[in-house]
Amino acid sequence: MPDSLPSSAGDSRFPPDSDLPTGEYAVTTAKPALESLMEITRRPPVIFVEGRGSWLFDREGRRYLDFVQGWAVNCLGHCPPEIVDAVTAQARRLINSSPAFHNEPSARLAEMITRNSCFQKVFFANSGAEANEGAIKLARKWGAKFRGGAFEIVTMEHSFHGRTLATMSASDKPQWRNLYEPKVPGFPRAPLNDLPAAAAMITEKTAAVLVEPIQGEAGVIPATDDYLRGLRTLTRERGVLLMVDEIQTGMGRTGRLFAYEHAGIEPDVMTLGKGMGGGVPLAALAAKEAVSVFEPGEQGGTFNGNLLVTAAGCAVMETLTRPGFLEAVVSAGEHLRGRLAALSAKRGLGEVRGRGLLLALVLGKDIAASVVERALRRGLLINAPVPDTLRFMPALTVSREEVDEMVEVLDLILRENPPYPDP
Ligand SMILES: *Cc1c(COP(=O)(O)O)cnc(C)c1O
């Protein structure tokens, strides 16, 4: 080391070596302390140990009504027999062969997706961000091959696409604007539901337009069906891809298997995640055959499409496509919407937004975080994606009684909150 460089010894930015005894390893206790975990978000002290349907139980035995379900992940509720049986049966047979070989559950799941969507090809990933990262790569490869090296992807203001560096760059979360710089270039942003703005942003450098049918993290802001149809026409006319991020809206969440169906369009690329594995880490990138331009070696991953998670995915798809299942989601969604609208009218709150069982209630004041906190203390899990809005994403199997109970608890909390006394 040259003399001119300062030594890191004693400098708190550079950690010293720890003085571990060699050859001895510690065993943790039944109730471990939490200090060893990186604090990547503020978490309340509660620790859940069991779940059943719409209910969670903490280690003190208290029960909680869950209208978050791991961010719309546990689409069939906690520990549904379909998932438990599929995962245990698969675990007993074979957990992982190798990504270098085909396996039965991933082939079955891919076929179930292609037979029930407008896509012909599927790639499995381990998280939504990874699926979107794959979509970005696919669009860039397609642009390189068919559009003279076009690589830009027009994204939407307030969008959320994940936490890898490229998907953070494609997202528009205000808290991320100056984080982890420099970002990945090539993601111009248009306001949602503004077709002329999107049209103005498409240039010879554009490979694709990427949109969420409903912007979940932004506070459940729907892209209108007309806008999605307009985007489909526009992208066809201009010769660029239309990609939908259905990580939150897909897998029955809006009352159809995929939310693009509401608009009657066929996108070129779709990403899935969250509810797809019914609780296990599973996501997917689906594409039209003509857009499926990856060549061997250009995309992959160690855990991608492994038997355990795709077996869970098969169980989810089988359940969602059962006759009557999605009709029940639609009617549960209508019931929840009706109860939220009545609560809003009673307490003078704002609009109810969203579709199916992805709904939001606007409170009109920035108190959503405090409502969420009070709800937790009363045994109810809800979510506040933005300061003045509550989001509801219960199990797709939620009962009317559970919806009614949730709304009663919410009403109780709002009544205690100064701006919303009894009328
Ligand atoms: C949750 C989400 C993602 C990211 O998925 P992860 O599994 O957290 O990586 C991407 N896009 C949308 C629309 C999401 O809701």
Report whether residue 129 contacts ligand 1, using a CB cutoff of 6 Å: yes
Q: Which amino acid is at 401?
A: E
Report whether residue 216 contacts ligand 1, using a CB cutoff of 6 Å: yes
Largest Cα separation within the chain, whole Å, is 75
Structure tokens at 353: 């937004």
Ligand 1 mean position, distance from CA 125 (Å)? 12
Residue 222 backbone dihedrals phi, psi, to 5 degrees: -75, 140
Name the DSSP letter for residue 221: E
Are 42 and 182 contained in the same domain? no
Are 251 and 368 contained in the same domain? no
Q: Which of 133, 164, 217 to mutate to test the pocket of ligand 1 (most atoms within 8 A of CB)?
A: 217
Domain endpoint, select from 271, 302, 320: 320
Name the DSSP letter for residue 16: P
Ligand 1 mean position, distance from CA 61 (Å)? 31
Question: Would you call 1 exposed, middle or buried from its count of C-beta atoms within 10 A (0-12, 13-18, 19+)?
Answer: exposed
Report whether 400 contacts 332 (CB < 8 A). Answer: yes
CA-CA distance, 384 to 358, in Å (whole number)?
13
Segments in the chain below pLDDT 70? 1-6, 28, 418-423
What pLDDT, on a 0 to 100 scale, did the predictor assign at position 421? 64
For strand 241-245 and strand 269-272, is the pairing parallel, antiparallel, or unpaired? parallel
Angle at 421 between CA 418 and CA 422, to 5 degrees: 170
Residue 423 is assigned to a structural domain of this protein: no
Residue 240 is assigned to a structural domain of this protein: yes
CA-CA distance, 280 to 211, in Å (whole number)?
25
Find the CATH number of the domain harbouring 28.
3.90.1150.10
Residue 187 is assigned to a structural domain of this protein: yes
Residue 7 is assigned to a structural domain of this protein: no
Residue 257 is assigned to a structural domain of this protein: yes
Structure tokens at 274: 């969250």
What pLDDT, on a 0 to 100 scale, did the predictor assign at position 418? 64
Are 279 and 133 contained in the same domain? yes
Are 202 and 276 contained in the same domain? yes
Residue 68 is assigned to a structural domain of this protein: yes
Q: Which of 274, 309, 358 to mutate to test the pocket of ligand 1 (most atoms within 8 A of CB)?
A: 274
Nearest to 278 by CA among 81, 67, 19: 81
Ligand 1 mean position, distance from CA 384 (Å)? 16
Name the DSSP letter for residue 278: B
Ligand 1 mean position, distance from CA 272 (Å)? 9
- Ligand 1 closest atom vs CA 129: 9
Residue 381 is assigned to a structural domain of this protein: yes
CA-CA distance, 338 to 194, in Å (whole number)?
29
Domain endpoint, select from 320, 337, 355: 320
What pLDDT, on a 0 to 100 scale, did the predictor assign at position 422? 65
In which domain, by residue range, is 376 found?
Answer: 17-79+324-416
For strand 358-362 and strand 269-272, is the pairing parallel, antiparallel, or unpaired? unpaired
What pLDDT, on a 0 to 100 scale, did the predictor assign at position 15? 85
Structure tokens at 172: 């528009």
What pLDDT, on a 0 to 100 scale, did the predictor assign at position 419? 61
Are 291 and 335 contained in the same domain? no
Are 132 and 263 contained in the same domain? yes
Find the CATH number of the domain harbouring 189.
3.40.640.10
Instruction: List CB contacts of 322: < 8 A, sequence separation 6 or more.
Output: none
Report whether 169 contacts 183 (CB < 8 A). Answer: yes
Point out the residues that are catalytic.
160, 245, 274
Are 123 and 70 contained in the same domain? no
Helices (H) and strands (E) in the chain, counts: 12, 17
Q: How many domains does the chain have?
A: 2
Report whether residue 207 contacts ligand 1, using a CB cutoff of 6 Å: no
Report whether 138 contacts 293 (CB < 8 A). Answer: yes
Are 88 and 160 contained in the same domain? yes
For strand 283-287 and strand 121-125, is the pairing parallel, antiparallel, or unpaired? antiparallel
Are 52 and 137 contained in the same domain? no
What pLDDT, on a 0 to 100 scale, did the predictor assign at position 1? 47
Domain endpoint, select from 320, 350, 379: 320
Residue 160 is assigned to a structural domain of this protein: yes
What pLDDT, on a 0 to 100 scale, did the predictor assign at position 206? 98
CA-CA distance, 109 to 221, in Å (whole number)?
30
Size (the chain), residues: 423
Are 270 and 232 contained in the same domain? yes
What is the residue-wise DSSP string for 329-361? HHHHHHHHHHHHHHHHHHHT---EEEETTEEEE
Report whether 303 contacts 367 (CB < 8 A). Answer: no
Report whether 250 contacts 257 (CB < 8 A). Answer: yes
Are 209 and 73 contained in the same domain? no
Residue 155 backbone dihedrals phi, psi, to 5 degrees: -115, 180
Report whether residue 212 contacts ligand 1, using a CB cutoff of 6 Å: yes
Are 112 and 258 contained in the same domain? yes
